[in-house]
Every structure is written in structure tokens, then in C-alpha cells.
Amino acid sequence: MSQYEFTVTVRPQYLPEQSEPDRRQFAFAYTITIRNSGEVPAQLISRHWVITDGDNHVQEVNGLGVIGHQPFLQPGEQFEYTSWAMVATPVGTMRGEYFCVAEDGTRFEAPVAEFALTMPRTLH
């Protein structure tokens, strides 16, 4: 275990009620759990996302905190939130990282492995 480490898990979900396939708008929610798996208290400061649709169009999103929060986590504590993204195809991917600062001032990144945004098949 690293002294400075946040572990990130993701649960994506298609949002049919917010999607308009005829207008090439496919909405996806994603629930993120960020756990301080390191040995020192640390704070999430900012985020960077790379969102790619099925046509390889890329959107990059940068910003402070997550959903208006910059959680400060003790070792073993976690923070969970849900947000969403819109892409122009029924499939896409997201990946990124969180930029964090430990209580002692050390900066580190918490990577978010690429995950799929996929509209489930529907039967007619």
C-alpha cells in the first residue's frame, strides 16, 4: 500500500429517460466511490475526464472538486457521488484522474481506469 493513494470504483448506468437517440443524445449516469486507501489524510482537489464516443469524438472536462465538494478523507474513509455525461453514440468510454493533496502537502493523482458507457439492447 502506498502512503498516498485513493482507490476509485465506478458503476455506470444508461439513462433512457434523459436520452434522445433520434437527436444523437445518449445520457449515462456514473456512481463513483473514492476511498482513501493510503496511510495519510488527503483531499481531492480537482478532476480531469476524457469522454470518448463511438465515433472517437473526445470531450475533456476539468474542474475543481466533484459535484461541488472537495472531500477530505482520513485513511479508510470514502466518498460517493453520482454524476452524468452525454455522448452522441449509444456506446462510449470515460477515463480520467483526480488530483489530490495529502495533509503533509504531498500532491498525488488517483487514476480512474477506462470504463464503458453502453446503452443496453432493447427488444422490439
Its pTM surpasses 0.85 = yes
Nearest to 87 by CA among 29, 30, 47, 28: 28
* Distance, CA of 41 to CA of 69 (rounded, Å): 16
pLDDT digits (tens, 9 = 90+) for 41-60: 999 999 999 999 999 999 99
pLDDT digits (tens, 9 = 90+) for 67-90: 999 999 999 999 999 999 999 999
Domain 6-116 has CATH 1.10.3720.10: no
Which pLDDT does position 103 carry in this prediction? 96
- Cβ contacts of residue 121 below 8 Å, gap of 6+? none
pLDDT exceeds cutoff 50 at 63: yes
3-state helix, strand, coil in the chain (%, to 5): 5, 65, 30
For the chain, give every domain's residue range.
6-116
**Quick one: pLDDT band at residue 2, thresholds 50, 70, 90?**
confident
pLDDT exceeds cutoff 70 at 37: yes
**Quick one: pLDDT band at residue 121, thresholds 50, 70, 90?**
confident
C-beta separation of 49 from 98 below 8 A: no
